[in-house]
Structure 1
Amino acid sequence: MNPGDNFQNFEGQNEEEPVEFFNYNSDTSNFSYKYQEQSQEKNIHEPDSKFNKEETIKRKGRKRQYLTIFFLLITIIAASFAAIVYTFDGDLYSTNDKVAVIHVQGTMITGSIPGGIGYSTSEDVASSIRKASDRSDVKAIVMRVNSPGGSPSAAEEISREIERAKDKGIPVVVSMGDVAASAAYYVSAPADVIMANPSTMTGSIGVIWTFQNRSEFYDEEGIEHEVIKSGELKDMGAPWRGLTEEERNYANKIVQEIYKNFVDHVAENRDLNRSFVNEISDGRIYTGMRAKELGLVDKFGNLYESINLAAELGDIRGEPDVIYLNKPSISRLLFSSKTDSGIANTSLTDFAEYYENNPYGKIEAK
């Protein structure tokens, strides 16, 4: 066999490799060695090339992801900023007379957190009312109420600001949503006009004070409490025991005192006979239809009809400009670190924990 035959056979076995790729040598073993060396070199570099291509594709993919996230964040920030400007200063380029809409949405408590997340705080609402009533271009206020009630103190603080606005000659219209009951009705009572829907749940004039008795739990867990107190009633409502008869009687006196104030407030502001208000104030809920029959509601209408009525009462001619001073929104929740009054917000978690686990029990106008 001559070397040429060997080369042809080898070439036939490796048809994918071009002949000119090799340096022919009549020494077969030398040729084979060179071929193997070249094959190894090829096998080594081929995966590297593939790996580099995959890495390039991955890098481009990551770059696209980063750019997408970046532009998405820019869009969110821009939209939030626009929402803030619209929410707080929707009248930025307007000099017309305005109707201010202020929301009471969620359970009412004292304190300061952004509205629209389950709680409506007296600082937030009261400061919004004051801000509106102190503006020369605000001629009327609409209170958009959608609340099941809450703290009597919070209701009193908000109610006083409504009365202050009225004393300055600014008409106030209440627009009830799904529910405006208990303390939320207390807030509504001083308004010049109360508007509701026929199916609105309102009324529920009354007071409730609840205490937690976890004594069985502590007994099961083997937890004992040693209490040193200055007076018999100092640990009244403590969760490690129930109320004594004396404490129960005392709590009832407080409830009746707050209830009397509630009834007087409704009778005075709604121009109703006190005995009649006392009769209908057993804590029951009324529909908007029934509440209108009882004199607790004046008219039926939605928010926009309430705005038009407020504009009319405020002697605003033509279509009024509307500003929303504390409209519930994601932007307020994300970017509001202080209320309009300058009071720092407390975390929602702290509020919820204190409100639900108040060591003095939970007293509500209901």
Structure 2
Amino acid sequence: MKVRKLFWFLIVVLIIFLFPFAALLVWFAPADWDLTASPNRVGVVEVDGMIKDARPTLESLVSFRRDPNVRAIVVRIESPGGGVGASQEIYREVRRTDKEKPVVASLGGVAASGGYYVASGARYIIANPGTLTGSIGVVAHLPNLASLFEKVGYRTVTIKSGRFKDVGNPGREMTDEERALLQETMDAMHAQFIRDVARGRGLDEEHVRRMADGRILSGEAALTWKLVDELGNFQDAVAKAAELGGIPGEPHVVYAEKKRPSLLEWILGKSGLEGIRETLDPALSPLRYQLILSP
């Protein structure tokens, strides 16, 4: 009798202690642990805001590419662009992923410059009629504070190992030689942009070059220029991805996991933090694939 009571006592203790542990395990379990998953999923990767760090987007693309339950991917873009290198990294991963699973780009309110660069790597692009897109070009902002420094009595002493090492020094005027060097670099990056858009869209480079002067296009105009394939919204993009992925019936949409917002983002808000990063982050300065609407 005592043995039976001890047995049931142990069972109760195990239930009391194991139940919370099991509940936490289920709560924090990643999507990969979903044992009921079936291969009818469309993965959604969001490119939101300034493109500065490509790694989270790359990781999401790789994760969905390796997931056997994800048959197609939608890259949802709400971005005016950003860093040259980061935009190129995501473009290449989109292209690599599309060779294994169809990738559809869904353009939101703004998907311009580096945002469009990313989209052009997808198999199919859907934009709203009023989407701001295009803006194929490179921009650099190099402040000249020489007059201000002179007024406040501020002086800089520059020690460098080569004559071009302090190009963009805000304490002095830029020389003609420096300007020519920067223009040559920007022209090379512009040519890369044109080449990759033409390659991704299956267009002739000359066709892309004719409108690759930094101009902003609406979704309707982009359709005329063959920069997008269809006018529609996010749901249309999901439906197209399901069609290309051979998913019968209603697809199950899953989103890539996002990192929790930092304390600064909670305090300043996303837009405030973006502004600070844009000002201070050297990865975004000075050369960018970015749409700029303000003076």
Q: Superposed, which structure 2 residues align to 1:145-294 within 5 Å? A: 145-167=77-99, 169-294=100-225
Q: CA RMSD in A?
A: 2.6
Q: Which runs of 5+ in 1 are unaligned?
A: 1-80, 111-121, 336-347
For 1:95, which of 34, 37, 47 is the aligned residue?
37
- Residues of 1 paired with 2:280 and 2:179: CA distance? 19
Larger of the two Rg values belongs to structure: 1
Query: Given that residues 237 and 359 in structure 1 are in contact (C-alpha distance below 8 angstroms), is that contact kept between their aligned partners in structure 2?
Result: no
Query: Given that residues 96 and 320 in structure 1 are in contact (C-alpha distance below 8 angstroms), is that contact kept between their aligned partners in structure 2?
Result: no
Q: TM-score, normalised by structure 1?
A: 0.65
The AA in structure 1 aligned to 2:245 is G
Query: Given that residues 239 and 359 in structure 1 are in contact (C-alpha distance below 8 angstroms), is that contact kept between their aligned partners in structure 2?
Result: no
**CA shift for structure 1 position 355:** 3.9
- Determine whether 1:364 maps to 2:288: yes
Judged with a 3 Å threshold, the aligned counterparts in structure 2 of structure 1 residues 94 and 306 are, in CA distance, closer, same or farther, namely: farther
- Residues of 1 paired with 2:70 and 2:60: CA distance? 12
Q: Superposed, which structure 2 residues align to 1:46-61 within 5 Å? A: none
How many positions carry a matched residue from both structures? 257
- Determine whether 1:296 maps to 2:227: yes
Judged with a 3 Å threshold, the aligned counterparts in structure 2 of structure 1 residues 314 and 154 are, in CA distance, closer, same or farther, namely: same
Q: Which runs of 5+ in 2 are unaligned?
A: 1-23, 264-270, 291-295
Judged with a 3 Å threshold, the aligned counterparts in structure 2 of structure 1 residues 90 and 130 are, in CA distance, closer, same or farther, namely: closer
Q: What are the superposed Cα offsets for residues 158-199 of structure 1, whole Å, 9 maximum, x if unpaired?
A: 1111122122x2000001100110011110001110001111
Q: What are the superposed Cα offsets for residues 32-68 of structure 1, whole Å, 9 maximum, x if unpaired?
A: xxxxxxxxxxxxxxxxxxxxxxxxxxxxxxxxxxxxx
- Residues of 2 paired with 1:349 and 1:280: CA distance? 33
The AA in structure 2 aligned to 1:261 is Q
- Residues of 1 paired with 2:150 and 2:280: CA distance? 19
Aligned-residue sequence identity (percent) comes to: 35
2:19 maps to what in 1? none
The AA in structure 1 aligned to 2:38 is N
Residue 124 of structure 1: SS of its match in structure 2?
Answer: helix
Judged with a 3 Å threshold, the aligned counterparts in structure 2 of structure 1 residues 216 and 90 are, in CA distance, closer, same or farther, namely: farther
Q: TM-score, normalised by structure 2?
A: 0.80
1:73 maps to what in 2? none
Query: Given that residues 50 and 274 in structure 2 are in contact (C-alpha distance below 8 angstroms), is that contact kept between their aligned partners in structure 1?
Result: no
- Residues of 1 paired with 2:245 and 2:145: CA distance? 54
**CA shift for structure 1 position 260:** 0.4
